[in-house]
Structure 1
């Protein structure tokens, strides 16, 4: 926890990581304190946040929605090998482990995100594996979980890559909807919010959930 708190303090000197219950779940995450989001940021703080956004200190709406979905539909992960791509805080990975996955790997390029995943896994009493390179992983997973990764349409080509490491993929996103990829079918529209609450537009609280299954071996 100390490296995470130090990293957050370097961005926002008075910000604290707080063990925060996630509504509609039995999970908690170390998140930036809500009070710190209800003030004006200085120009220097704004610059630092834009340069190094501490996205791992938030539970984004799509991650929360996916975590709730897995808790309600354990069959998606129970007894399976799962990788959480762009894990961030690790909420989807932790939910998969809680729902009975055989193995869960939290994968993120950001070392601080992986540190957050470790801290949050300990907070919730689950064990995860960790990876900083999706493409270094073997094609051995039953399911790839993806939440809040398609916020930039430049990331859409990743949809073609998820099934190179897993037989199936579940993709949750509130920013890019109806991306009309032939391999992906829309399963559901889910409601959630980002924590701490950023007062996002209502449209960003509606999460689209997509499923894809590999038809031939990648």
Structure 2
């Protein structure tokens, strides 16, 4: 897994795009390989737009909910310290990396996208931590102490995992900027966090408010 290989994957969508090591707004402790903001300062051709819709390189962004949850983890290290943690839908690996930094015994970055797994590995290396990579949530064996997930509830098909999470781990923490009123009897809203997607996509200010949920068990 090399940065050149990940850049090659990015070029399948945007031929002139590059990943750059980026410090995150409000989270100076961590750094990620993210899409160079300069690559967004131009008009896209119809072919590029279609490629972005068909194969969005979401792992090349740090999404607001992930940033907010990563900050929360670093501010509350006791929530993850010495625990075996699974980050579901890990994307760039930002939350998994924060868990490792906060002292998790093992952090599993779980994402079905091979490029996201590659990004998580390279971002972990950039931050001097080690992650375990997994493509299949159901193939992960052994006890899990904590499941974390950011921005997975926007897809209604993922709501079925809310019950799986509760059955798999005694503690579940979710962060989501699109779902701010989760109607589920087994989850409670814990807080409202602030998070900004980076590079900046000019999202509405409302999407910078991130709901934090935890299970009631």
TM-score using structure 1 length: 0.95
- Partner residue of 2:162? 159
- The Cα shift of 1:155 comes to 2.1
* Equivalent position SS for 1:172: strand
- Partner residue of 1:6? 8
* Equivalent position SS for 1:92: helix
- Partner residue of 1:50? 53
| Aligned-partner Cα distance in 2 for 1:168–1:61 | 22
Question: Is the 1:153–1:176 contact (alpha carbons within 8 Å) kept by the matching residues of 2?
Answer: no
- Partner residue of 1:40? 43
**Which runs of structure 2 are paired with 1:1-218 in the superposition (5 Å)?**
1-25=3-27, 26-138=29-141, 140-214=143-217
RMSD, aligned CA: 1.1
| Aligned-partner Cα distance in 1 for 2:149–2:167 | 14
- The Cα shift of 1:213 comes to 4.7
Question: Is the 1:80–1:142 contact (alpha carbons within 8 Å) kept by the matching residues of 2?
Answer: yes
Question: Is the 1:139–1:166 contact (alpha carbons within 8 Å) kept by the matching residues of 2?
Answer: no
| Aligned-partner Cα distance in 2 for 1:38–1:191 | 25
CA distances 1:139-183 after superposition (whole Å, capped 9, x unpaired)? 511100100111222322221111232111100000112112111
Question: Is the 2:188–2:216 contact (alpha carbons within 8 Å) kept by the matching residues of 1?
Answer: no
| Aligned-partner Cα distance in 1 for 2:40–2:127 | 25
Aligned length: 214
Gap regions ≥5 residues in structure 2: none
| Aligned-partner Cα distance in 1 for 2:93–2:22 | 14
| Aligned-partner Cα distance in 2 for 1:4–1:159 | 31
